[in-house]
Structure 1
């Protein structure tokens, strides 16, 4: 195995860690109570699990399904299909997920630009679609005969018109480039208390402050479509209260569960790949040692790379026996 660069923090599993962490995973073969799965990782195919889950217990649903692309996930392959067949596949599990949600629940569905075209009509059948967030995904190579694909979508949906949304929890702290003052010489809509000048701005549906996990970030894993903790943090803070239950049926390497743990929410994750499940459990153990979230500090979201403390966060190690 090729040695990692000195600053490469990508999380990996040792054979001993995998053996130990496998013991934490849940497998269902009959109907269960919420207490049986709360704050657990279910290592199983989602279609096997959904019939066994109780009804109306989810406060927030976070869904990051395979996009309509041919892609390998740790040896398992998802193949591109035409939009009609992809929409049918989406509908087959969204129909089963919706009864798990409380009437006041919200849901976020991730997609790329092409997947969005097939996803939107399905979501419109089952939910009230309230917005489409577009976030800048700056990672990736350029295209020679097309525009570089540097963004992804997140559809914001609710079950009803009665839902929770905390706009103050997701304001963005931006550096002021033109600091205006009132006639009395006071700062106008910005903070002059520190060495640099900032203002809190309302969140929009265009996010340009997200950094995709890469090899020098402590949250990085080898999962090919891992979402940043900062991104999921925005979704959880905006649409769930402390103690709320968050479900992620495509957990991957565990970002939703990790962020829920760090923010004082409860979670249930479903993921069919044992290695990714173990990575999720390892990240959860590390979150108990280091609850910080890169790009989120002092109760606000910072613009990308503006907070020096976030860039110099020390590396944490997993204690033995985890």
Structure 2
């Protein structure tokens, strides 16, 4: 085992002790036969997706969140995913994506993450199995600059459904934005906005362009060493929009557990599959921490807020805001 990384005193990246790794690993699930839904709910399955797919029950998923390896070189704790031609990447998608619809309820929604290099291949595969509803683009402000190209600072999420009967809770995902033109009605009352000690804000309808997301970094308590970890705020938008309390959220490429953690914080059931034990154990630790602290950075008072908003509210469930950077 390599020696632990030396971290700055204020680095809040989540790590595991040897005792924690052993304890969390012992609680992981592996499947070798068909399972009823009750036996896999709120569990982390330590297995490759290809191994576990035959044993998962039919029609148990309300919301499917898929964050597969993108078509680029990436090291996942010593296991390398290598970039390939677009045709070869699309062929790889067909080895597992056609098996996922069996797991979904007729009312299920699906979100599939990608970057610009894999977006076309994923779209082509996605349309073969789901009704495409939209493509979300979110600003991923982290990343290296480029001298001979535009900085790559966005990712896509394809949104689809199984049928025309699906959940979409628009009120739950409205974004609180600062009011630039605070119009008032004839009585002098705020028109479609609210005034507080912290400023003037309006609840705006969510669009498919998201610029209010902070990618996990070293000073955020949700941060881990997983190389492609998604922000809790990002996943919270998907879960709140496309599921209801008590629904089942399934993530077949769980990584360090963000989908399961956010599902737990928001009162949903979860099932996650991840083949790397380290990431499974990080997910388990994050799930344990979520029992004591259900805050989601950037989501408070049952609303999403722009980045760099500090409202000074008393702590409540989910009351946490994006750090200034």
| TM-score (structure 1 length as normaliser) | 0.95
**Cα-Cα RMSD:** 1.3
Equivalenced residues, count: 313
Identify the residue that residue 318 of structure 1 maps to in structure 2: none
Query: SS where residue 108 of structure 1 aligns?
Result: strand
How far apart are residue 2 of structure 1 and its match?
4.9
Identify the residue that residue 317 of structure 1 maps to in structure 2: none
How far apart are residue 312 of structure 1 and its match?
9.2
Task: Quote the Cα distance in structure 2 between the aligned partners of 1:117 and 1:273.
Answer: 27
Task: Decide which of 47, 50, 59 is 1:47's aligned counterpart.
Answer: 50
Query: SS where residue 249 of structure 2 aligns?
Result: strand
How far apart are residue 143 of structure 1 and its match?
0.8
Identify the residue that residue 88 of structure 1 maps to in structure 2: 91
Query: SS where residue 100 of structure 2 aligns?
Result: helix
Structure 1 stretch displaced more, 83-92 or 118-127: 83-92
Q: 1:35 to 1:2 in 2, by over 3 A?
A: closer
How far apart are residue 245 of structure 1 and its match?
0.3
Identify the residue that residue 316 of structure 1 maps to in structure 2: none
Identify the residue that residue 229 of structure 2 maps to in structure 1: 226
Is 1:209 the counterpart of 2:212? The answer is: yes
Task: Quote the Cα distance in structure 2 between the aligned partners of 1:24 and 1:307.
Answer: 38
1:229-252 alpha-carbon deviations (Å, 9 max, x no partner): 000000000000000001000000
Query: SS where residue 115 of structure 1 aligns?
Result: helix
Identify the residue that residue 183 of structure 2 maps to in structure 1: 180
Q: 1:211 to 1:89 in 2, by over 3 A?
A: same
Query: SS where residue 197 of structure 1 aligns?
Result: strand
Task: Quote the Cα distance in structure 1 between the aligned partners of 2:49 and 2:290.
Answer: 25
Task: Decide which of 198, 202, 205 is 2:201's aligned counterpart.
Answer: 198
Query: SS where residue 25 of structure 1 aligns?
Result: coil
Paired residues of 1:106 and 1:156 also in contact (CA < 8 A): yes
Task: Quote the Cα distance in structure 1 between the aligned partners of 2:33 and 2:239.
Answer: 30
* Aligned pairs for 1:54-133 within 5 A: 54-133=57-136
Task: Quote the Cα distance in structure 2 between the aligned partners of 1:10 and 1:202.
Answer: 33
Task: Quote the Cα distance in structure 1 between the aligned partners of 2:322 and 2:51.
Answer: 43
Identify the residue that residue 167 of structure 2 maps to in structure 1: 164
How far apart are residue 268 of structure 1 and its match?
0.4
Query: SS where residue 195 of structure 2 aligns?
Result: coil
Identify the residue that residue 278 of structure 1 maps to in structure 2: 281
Structure 1 portions without partners, runs of 5+: 314-322
Task: Quote the Cα distance in structure 1 between the aligned partners of 2:14 and 2:56.
Answer: 31
How far apart are residue 178 of structure 1 and its match?
2.1
How far apart are residue 90 of structure 1 and its match?
1.0
Task: Quote the Cα distance in structure 1 between the aligned partners of 2:35 and 2:251.
Answer: 17
| TM-score (structure 2 length as normaliser) | 0.94
